[in-house]
Structure 1
């Protein structure tokens, strides 16, 4: 979710903003969602975005890291795959042998994050591991894994300077897939944990659109992903995607 695209939607369709009942931001977009909801000011949010980005970039430069998209067959065991890849990385002497599920994208789509040695193992053995459409992402960090632990200190210090308010609309946490609560101590914890934990995007989408069969799906706006989030929504809930508009 981009602030610029959000402003565009506000100018062109103000009623859509006024009637919004739920917000979900993918990864860094969660901060935009919190700004939109009034949980933090625009200025505070921008500072957090800058600090978070710089800290995670520094963490990504400590070792050779990356991310890998995979289409998982029903027979694949993603947790076992991570263990195998980590074991391989340890055996060949990787400095930071890590492999984790970084993003639960949709039912079959998962993104692994970790050291490049482990990701290369997955790529090489993808067929026997029950993986298809394996593709290395154009990033240099193992984001949303423990490889980002060095980024926590700077982000936590910046977050401590922010007075979090309770959101005026439901905002879903990437960390646990639930709506932010009245407990601001927990909300801060979730924002920090999000950096080193998998993004539960599929789980969030399921919760947002889970409804009785006779209840219509709401209008949804895909902000600034150029249609990527709508495509993912279609893979999770095709009927909900029919009422999704790209901005």
Structure 2
């Protein structure tokens, strides 16, 4: 299988002028198409820092990130922004839906950003796959937490990125909704051949993942390989 994400000898040091904090230490990671990976570990261990660097939201101190063999971390800001929008879908703890747009219009807005004609068939297909067709005319305030996260997944998948980055996507959900959302994410990863990384504090969810990594004090190690 093709490697969609490659992280090579990545490190991140924060310097506040008084002391230096090493958030990541020579981190290596690769995720293939159709592979669902979880990263677990205590708060402040570097999980979210790693995810934001992979997503191009901040630069590493050393090392590199490759997305589909493109040296993503070495691109200038403009090129990195273009690649991020094309190749990466983000799902966050808060669904971050636009409050005055309906479910369908959340996706229509993505088309406007891309300056493309509205892809109604794509919308219909995603809403059906995620079981939210009957919500298309509702506003975020009318949805449950689980429903909002399903819409967030639809929005992340809408422009057909090769990489999905999910940062604590179930933190605000009850157990049943959390399992439901991660099961959907795992299914979409397989069916659409995405490379997905999920940061989570809930170890009950790792049963849906192909590999689980543990991070502590900026050190990443493979915890389990569920394919074996």
Question: What TM-score does the superposition give when structure 1 sets the normalisation length?
Answer: 0.28
Structure of larger gyration radius: 1
Larger RCO of the pair (alpha carbons < 8 Å, separation 6+): 2
Structure 1 or 2: more strand by fraction: 2
